[in-house]
């Protein structure tokens, strides 16, 4: 691309990001290497006044040093339309403040700002519930809050996974067997005694081979997944739960799932999507801040961040 872009990233506190593995930093480094100007914004800095959505932003120059990974530049309050692209990469929890941010960002889009992923699409795609649109690709699943419904599901399948709808990183995920003596308390705890809706899914024994993260960038399927393989005695492959990440070529089934979803999700303004696939079954569609760019690139040589910047440059033409 001939012209330099101004790209703002809405991210978590910079000192909390782990540069050696953070996908957002990989994106920033690639963008800066191509001569684009990089800025960072904290979500709480967003403001709306008289029809204009703005934010205090810090210009940075990313470095290759994982300890001091950026050099700070000037800080200024600018409308989001001042940037060629704004990348929403704030991690969950997907709480009311997060929803408020998507509303504000949607107003910015209406005013001419380019924001990826599209804020309405982020808000409309619950990372857990989004699979309900594609039941033919998902394992047997129940979404409910009534204990009798959940217990009937466990009894029917004999072995199930229960999880909250707003968790991340493997938090509060339970495997519950039909004869589990703790099943009542697990259901009570997860549902807040019937006041919170949760998801139950058939347990997939293929988890021992990994919870596969499959990336879609700008409608293009990355040809490698990152298999998050559980540590011994665990049923969660999440890296945050101690899983081991191993990059590997997509299976025929994983590619089929990703190619089916890619044009649908891209048309909704979802530039970066992370599918979770276990044993050929779609279990989640991650749209807030999908990760694994660095691990896949390091282990396979495939330039995931480069593909992201390619697609972003195309979108900004």
Per-residue pLDDT at 168: 72
* 128 a catalytic residue: yes
* 236 a catalytic residue: yes
Q: How far apart are CA 147 and CA 270, in angstroms?
A: 35
Which tokens in the block code for residue 152? 């009937």
* 228 a catalytic residue: yes
β-strands 47-49, 52-62: how paired?
antiparallel
Q: Which of 29, 89, 128, 311 is catalytic?
A: 128
Minimal CA–CA distance to 150: which of 165, 162, 132? 162
Per-residue pLDDT at 49: 97
- φ, ψ (nearest 5 deg) of residue 259: -70, -30
* 231 a catalytic residue: no
Edge-to-edge strands, sheet with 244-249: 244-249, 220-229, 211-217, 272-278, 281-286
Per-residue pLDDT at 239: 66
Per-residue pLDDT at 91: 87
Per-residue pLDDT at 230: 84
**Residues 87, 89, 298: CA angle, nearest 5 degrees:** 100
Q: Which of 29, 89, 114, 163 is catalytic?
A: 163
Which tokens in the block code for residue 91? 């991690």
Q: Which of 118, 211, 276, 295 is catalytic?
A: 276
Q: Which of 84, 213, 311, 313 is catalytic?
A: 213
DSSP symbol at 12: S
Q: Which of 202, 212, 236, 311 is catalytic?
A: 236
* 74 a catalytic residue: no
Q: How far apart are CA 74 and CA 268, in angstroms?
A: 34
Q: Which of 212, 228, 238, 313 is catalytic?
A: 228
Per-residue pLDDT at 172: 87
Which helix (H) or strand (E) segment is 152 a member of? helix 147-157
Minimal CA–CA distance to 287: which of 309, 265, 307, 302? 265
Q: Which of 284, 295, 311, 313 is catalytic?
A: 284
- φ, ψ (nearest 5 deg) of residue 249: -60, 150
* 284 a catalytic residue: yes
Q: What is the pLDDT along the chain (317 residues), one digit of tens a residue?
A: 568 999 999 999 999 999 999 999 999 999 999 999 999 999 999 999 999 999 999 999 999 999 999 999 999 999 999 999 999 999 878 889 999 999 999 999 999 999 999 999 999 999 999 999 999 999 999 999 999 999 999 999 999 999 999 877 667 899 999 999 999 999 999 999 999 999 999 999 999 999 999 999 999 999 999 999 987 766 665 666 567 999 999 999 999 999 999 999 999 999 999 999 999 999 999 999 999 999 999 999 999 999 999 999 999 98
């Amino acid at each position: 691309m001939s012209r330099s872009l101004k790209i703002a990233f809405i991210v978590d506190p910079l000192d909390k990001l782990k540069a050696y593995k953070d996908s957002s930093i990989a994106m920033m480094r690639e963008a800066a290497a191509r001569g684009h100007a990089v800025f960072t914004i904290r979500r709480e800095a967003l403001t709306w006044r008289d029809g204009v959505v703005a934010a205090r932003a810090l210009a940075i120059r990313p470095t290759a040093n994982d300890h001091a990974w950026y050099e700070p530049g000037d800080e200024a309050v600018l409308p989001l339309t001042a940037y060629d692209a704004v990348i929403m990469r704030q991690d969950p929890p997907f709480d009311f403040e997060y929803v408020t941010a998507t509303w504000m960002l949607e107003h910015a889009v209406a005013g001419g700002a380019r924001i990826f992923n599209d804020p309405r699409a982020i808000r409309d795609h619950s990372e857990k519930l989004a699979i309900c649109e594609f039941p033919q690709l998902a394992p047997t699943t129940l979404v409910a809050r009534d204990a009798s419904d959940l217990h009937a599901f466990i009894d029917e399948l004999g072995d199930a996974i229960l999880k909250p709808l707003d968790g991340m990183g493997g938090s509060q995920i339970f495997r519950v067997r039909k004869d589990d003596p703790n099943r009542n308390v697990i259901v009570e705890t997860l549902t807040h005694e019937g006041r919170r809706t949760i998801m139950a899914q058939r347990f997939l024994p293929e988890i021992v081979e990994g919870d596969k993260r499959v990336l879609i960038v700008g409608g293009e399927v990355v040809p490698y997944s990152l298999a998050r393989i559980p540590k011994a005695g665990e049923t969660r492959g999440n890296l945050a739960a101690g899983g081991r990440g191993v990059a590997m070529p997509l299976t025929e089934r994983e590619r089929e799932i990703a190619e089916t979803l890619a044009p649908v999700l891209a048309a909704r303004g979802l530039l970066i999507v992370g599918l979770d696939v276990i044993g050929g079954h779609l279990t989640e569609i991650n749209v807030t801040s999908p990760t694994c760019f660095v691990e896949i690139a390091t282990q396979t040589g495939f330039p995931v961040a480069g593909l992201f910047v390619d697609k972003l440059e195309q979108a900004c033409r």
